[in-house]
Amino acid sequence: MDLFAEALDGALVVRVGEQRIDAAIAIQFKDRMREIAAQPAPRVVLDLSAVQFVDSSGLGAIVSVMKFLAPARKLELSGLTPNVQKVFHLTRMDTVFTIHAAFPEQKLQDAV
Amino acid sequence: MADDCRLPEREFRQTFPADPMLVRSALRAAVARYMRRMTSEEAGTMELVLAEVLNNIVEHAYAGRKGGMIDLSISVTGRGLEVRVADQGLPMPGGVLPAGLAPSLKMSGGTQDLPEGGFGWFLIHDLTQDIDYLRDGRTNRLRFVLPLRREGAVMPESCPIASALGSD
């Protein structure tokens, strides 16, 4: 399970290096996230920009991490690829999570 | 439309043990087989639906039992891909297809009320057509259509190669 955590802008950013969060690794993912989340940070941002595929087991694992962190801490998501975005949209989970296009937010170029 | 005149793909068929890692490789192979006739969104949908169906068999029909086999076959029809899945695990609860209602996201009790499961059958029903389940002796048989938007799923008879094959 390839997860890389760093402190950034007051948040603990966890970058998922796996291409898939699916039934085959959902339990490992949950366990590793619990270990990583032992580091104190008010916000945890899960960066999914390398993840091409999430199934309902992977989605359930992400929800369980959110519940594990609550109520003291929040799980936010960033960098959803199109297929992953679709799963969150179909299940309406995109209404439950704060989702960033990227984290930290890329600065918009000055427009006139 | 030269695009509509491609040779139809052979039927895809794989029989493999009910194991999460083998499910992964089977569904990757199935998606790869039909990649050329799908948009990337359709390929993502196909991968998701197959993952939900096959993982349900691993987790529920065989309930983690080792040695169970899954038989997956896919063929091209006029409307998209017809998928047939068979296993010799436990029957569906009550012998019928699960309803597939979307789990409620109401959080009156806070975040802890959020569901962690129950999305699988909702996604399967939402993304497929003509889904049908049959308990056939000791075998579960599931059949459904994955609709493909792109025309030309069936090679028209007007294609030179189709008539050439027909007269062979």
B105, B107, B119 member nearest A59 (Cβ): B119
Mean pLDDT of A24-41: 93
| A65 vs B20: CA distance, rounded Å | 21
- Strands annotated E in chain B: 12-17, 69-77, 80-87, 129-136, 139-147
Q: What is the pTM of this model?
A: 0.87
Residue with tokens 């030179």: B160
Q: Is A42 exposed, middle or buried (0-12, 13-18, 19+ CB in 10 A)?
A: exposed
Secondary structure string (H, E, C) spanning A22-91: CCCCHHHHHHHHHHHCCCCCCEEEEECCCCCEECHHHHHHHHHHHHHHCCCCEEEEECCCHHHHHHHHHC
| Interval B63-90: pLDDT, tens | 978 889 999 999 999 889 999 999 999 9
Fold of A3-100: Transcription Regulator spoIIAA (3.30.750)
Average pLDDT over residues B42-62: 96
> What mean pLDDT do residues B129-144 have?
97
Q: Once rounded to an integer, what is the mean pLDDT over residues A4-32?
A: 94
- Say if the Cβ atoms of B48 and A87 lie within 8 Å: yes
* Least confident interval from A6-10, A31-35, B122-126, B140-144: A6-10
Q: pLDDT value at position B152?
A: 47
Averaged pLDDT score across all residues of chain B: 85
Per the prediction, chain A carries an average pLDDT of 91
pLDDT at B110: 78
Q: Which pLDDT does position A111 carry in this prediction?
A: 47
Record: contact B55-A55, CB cut-off 8 A: yes
Q: Which of A33, A44, A55, A88 to mutate to test the interface with B (most CBs of B within 10 A)?
A: A55
Asked if B81 and B146 touch (Cβ cutoff 8 Å), the reply is yes
pLDDT at B156 over 60: no
**A33 vs B112: CA distance, rounded Å:** 17
pLDDT tens-digit profile of A89-102? 999 999 999 999 99
Residue A87 pLDDT > 90, yes or no?
Answer: yes
Q: What does the block give as tokens for A35?
A: 């270990």
Q: Does B117 contact A60 at a Cβ distance shorter than 8 Å?
A: yes
Our measurement of the distance from residue B154's CA atom to the centroid of its chain's CA atoms, rounded to an integer in Å, reads: 19
**Residue B163: per-residue pLDDT:** 44
Tell me the shortest Cα–Cα distance from A98 to chain B, in angstroms. 13
Suggest the residue from A27, A28, A57 to mutate for an interface test with chain B (most B CBs closer than 10 A). A57
What pLDDT was estimated at residue B56? 95
Share of chain A above pLDDT 90, in %: 78
| Count of helix runs (H) and strand runs (E) in chain B | 4, 5
**pLDDT greater at residue A10 or residue B14:** B14
In this structure, are residues A36 and A16 in contact, taking their beta carbons and an 8 Å threshold?
no
Give contacts of B20 with chain A, Cβ < 8 Å. 22-24
Rounded to a whole number of angstroms, the CA Rg of chain A reads 14
From first CA to last CA, the distance across chain A in angstroms is 45
Q: Is B89 exposed, middle or buried (0-12, 13-18, 19+ CB in 10 A)?
A: buried
Token digits of residue A59: 């989605």
Interface of A with B in 28-87 (CB under 8 A): 53, 55-57, 59-61, 63-64, 66-67, 70-71, 82-83, 86-87
